[in-house]
A and B are shown apart, each in its own frame.
Chain A
Amino acid sequence: MCSARLGITVVKMQSALIADRIQFAFTIMFHYLFPIATMGLAPFVAYFTVKGIRNNDQTALRTAQFFGKIFALNFAAGVVTGIPMEFQFGTNWAGFSARAGSVVGQTLSMESVFAFFLESVFLGVFLYGRNRVTPGFYAACAVLIWIGSWLSGFFIVATNAWMQHPVGYVVTKSGTIELRNIGAVLLSSFAWWQYVHVLDGALLTGAFILAGIGAYYLLDRRHVDFAQGIVRAGVTVGIIASVIAIFPTGDRDSSDVTHFQPAKLAAMEGEFRSERGAPLAILGMPDTQHGVLIDPLYVPDLLSFLAYGNFRANVNGLSSYPSADRPPVDLTYYAYHIMVGLGSLFLAAMLAATVLLRRGRLFESRWMLWILMLAMPFPYIANEAGWTVAEVGRQPWIVYGLMRTSQGTSPTVVAGETIFTAIGFAGMYFLLGVVFLFLTLREIGHGPEQ
């Protein structure tokens, strides 16, 4: 009788946990589509605005106006979908908020007072004040929006990085995790490397957006001057960003995972059993029942070398961790391989485009323009996949090593409530997504002002 009742309680908590995780994953992944673009486009908008005003360059000003509109659509969608993110910590993750809010509340609060005000005040001027303020003030607005969007990203990554690798805290007698050193939280090298990687992913996306839209106009033989300018800017930034994504930032993030979250590394690489001279799986499908990769394509000893700089080093497999401490393998493994595979393709595409650009043949190479145009959605997928590795691979911890995700949910909110609100968010976001795509494609269809 008693154990049966206990069974029901456990099932109830499990289903609430799953509902909470699905709702958060869905709302954050949808939301993040927009900050990728705002963080990625903001530097371009600022650059073209300053260039246009300083040199009285009309093409640069038209470019800034055009991407300013695209930026504004993304910003609005980002704000609308971002508000539920902050509040979900309280509504669905009250256990986590009550216990760790003393730390994570700080960085989230810094985001709103240091970044949100900056972005929203100056975007208001940038969009509606073109003829009301002086050109110098107008250019300053574009730069301040850029700073705001990158600051916002920093505080979010700092929050997440603390959950990945907690520092600067103290655990009290009652079990709450409280702030002891804000400097340690903000200056954690884990956070900074993660931030640079995230930012670079956004910048790469911005570069592909510019190159892709420009390629589309060139293929369509419209707005040629404008299009050549943005393809040039996109490819120039894109080649740098696609290198930085791999080295040093991707490399440093892997090394942080190796040192601080070895179970995540094992899941990412599909490494089920510990071994010396562990091979790197390029392809293969994990079979979690038997603990093997199906149809693998291995490079011998390479994982040992990449992780520890020694081809014979031991890499701990998933089997060396208690089953309660292992992250889900399939999702982590695929997300990681999708991110790395796409990252390699981005580098190849940008390298080819750069060579053609240097030789002055890019704008006539229709095959390359086709590639650039069709590549546009893929950086989004790579960014989302990267976050999936970070977040799914962090399981079963909500604060790594300190607090389990199952302890983080709200004691008063049951699965049925969350399922209802998740359905509501799905409907709302579907509408928003349709409207957003429609308006964005319409802006691209119109092209820059003449």
Chain B
Amino acid sequence: MNVAAFVVLAAMLTAYVMLDGYDLGVGAVHLWFSKTERGRAASFAAIKPFWNGNEVFLIAAGAALFALFPKVYAAAFSGFYLPFIIVLWLLMIRGMSIELRGYFTSDIWNGFWDVAFWLSSALLVLFFGVALGNIVRGVPLDTQGYFAGTFTFLLNGYALSVGALALTALSMNGATFLWMRLDPDLRPRAQTLMRALWPVVLLLFIGVTVETIAAHPIGAHVGLWIAPAVALAALIAVYASKRAGGALAASSAFLAALMASAAQTIFPFLLPAFRGGGLDIYNAAPNAYSVGTALTVTIIGVGAALCYGTIAAYRMMRA
């Protein structure tokens, strides 16, 4: 059951990356994508009805972590105090920029929120990437599982390269989303942007994968090659796809495969220590009844949300 809890948590974070991934990606590229008011307004309009629902996956994943593994929640959030609070501030600025842009037809007002949206989106993606890189690499923990290192420890080459991969991969994803959703005359620019980002993503992906496998040898476990292989195939499909919908599906699959690779690398740990050990799905879990309850609630709630969310999105996009 604790394994199931791990899988559900990983799935929720993956859903977050796939869904909020396109609106974060739009934020990361929209300044470069279009210099005209029409293009920028269209970028905002494309994500406005959906971003909040997407972001709920982050909140829900955080809350599920709280209920399933309270010790990890406590140790991780307080251990990385300042980075977490900065993430909160960036989420707030980003939310404000999406809601407030377009309230007036003023270049000053809109220009301010354009930059705020870009900066907060890009920094969030970078932060998330660096955080994921550090978790995969392991961080110094004390006996209670609280972070015992320094801020500079977190800025290591591996984590930064994961951050760069996250930023470029989500930018590519955002460009692909714009290619699919915008008016036909704006699409070629989005497609060009996606194709310009693609080689950088490929290089970073190969680099990070090689580094990860070097640190966590896969060896004879053939099954563990599946996720990286799927990621590579999906990335190639992004470039090869002639249709925007296919490219976005491939890009989403690429992100999901990256998350699966990260999850299988740290399993069964949730917060691995730098030199082995750490908080895992057994030593950080409360009693079985508690884990079972949280798991049931999460599966029912998220399952229902996926159903009605899909129905609502379908009815919205059909028009």
Contacts and interface: CB of A to CB of B under 8 A. Distances in A.
B287 interface: yes
A97 interface: yes
Interface in B74-91: 74-79, 81-82, 84-85, 88-89, 91
Contacts of A99: 70
A308 to B, nearest CB: 38
Which of the listed residues A101, A105, A113, A424 has the most CB atoms from chain B within 10 Å of its own CB? A113
A95 to B, nearest CB: 7
A178 interface: yes
B251 to A, nearest CB: 22
B147 interface: yes
B243 to A, nearest CB: 23
A117 B294 contact: no
Contacts of A284: none
A133 B315 contact: yes
A173 to B, nearest CB: 12
Given A91-B85, A94-B146, 17 more contacts: A76-B96, A76-B99, A81-B92, A87-B77, A89-B66, A89-B77, A98-B75, A106-B293, A109-B67, A111-B63, A116-B60, A117-B53, A117-B308, A128-B316, A129-B319, A178-B286, A435-B100
A127 B312 CA distance: 13
Q: Is the interface of A mostly helix, strand, loop or mixed?
A: helix
A135 interface: no
B309 interface: yes
B271 to A, nearest CB: 12
A441 B59 CA distance: 30
Contacts of B84: 87, 90-91
A123 B312 CA distance: 10
Interface in A171-194: 172, 176, 178-180, 182
Interface string A81-117: 1011011011110110111111111101111111011
B316 A132 contact: yes
B286 A179 contact: yes
Contact of B146 (A79, A113, A180, A412): A412
Contacts of B316: 124-125, 128-129, 132-133
Interface string A312-336: 0000000000000000000000000
Count class of interface residues, chain B: 35 or more
Given A79-B95, A102-B290, A412 B79 contact: yes
14 contacts: A76-B96, A83-B91, A89-B77, A94-B77, A97-B74, A100-B70, A104-B66, A117-B56, A117-B308, A121-B312, A132-B318, A137-B315, A412-B81, A432-B92
Contacts, number: 216
B62 interface: yes
B68 interface: yes
A63 interface: no
B297 A132 contact: no
Nearest to A409: B78
Contacts of B88: 83-84, 87
A428 B301 contact: no
Interface string B46-71: 00111011011001101110111011
B144 A176 contact: no
A125 B315 contact: yes
Nearest to A414: B81
A106 B67 contact: yes
Given A110-B301, A428-B89, A98 B74 contact: yes
B298 interface: yes
Contacts of A128: 48-49, 316
A98 B71 contact: yes
B103 interface: yes
B78 A90 contact: yes
Interface of A: 76, 79-81, 83-84, 86-87, 89-92, 94-95, 97-106, 108-114, 116-118, 120-125, 127-129, 131-133, 137, 170, 172, 176, 178-180, 182, 410-413, 417, 421, 424, 428, 432, 435, 439
A179 B56 contact: no
Contacts of A129: 49, 315-316, 319
A105 B76 contact: no
A273 B93 CA distance: 51
B78 A109 contact: no
Lowest 9 CB-CB distances: which A-B pairs, in order? A101-B70, A113-B301, A90-B77, A105-B67, A410-B78, A132-B319, A117-B305, A105-B66, A94-B78
A116 B54 CA distance: 11
Which of the listed residues B50, B293, B298 has the most CB atoms from chain A within 10 Å of its own CB? B293
A124 B293 contact: no
Nearest to A134: B315
B319 to A, nearest CB: 4
Nearest to A418: B81
Nearest to B77: A90
Nearest to B73: A90
Contacts of B315: 125, 129, 132-133, 137
Contacts of B59: 83, 86, 112, 116
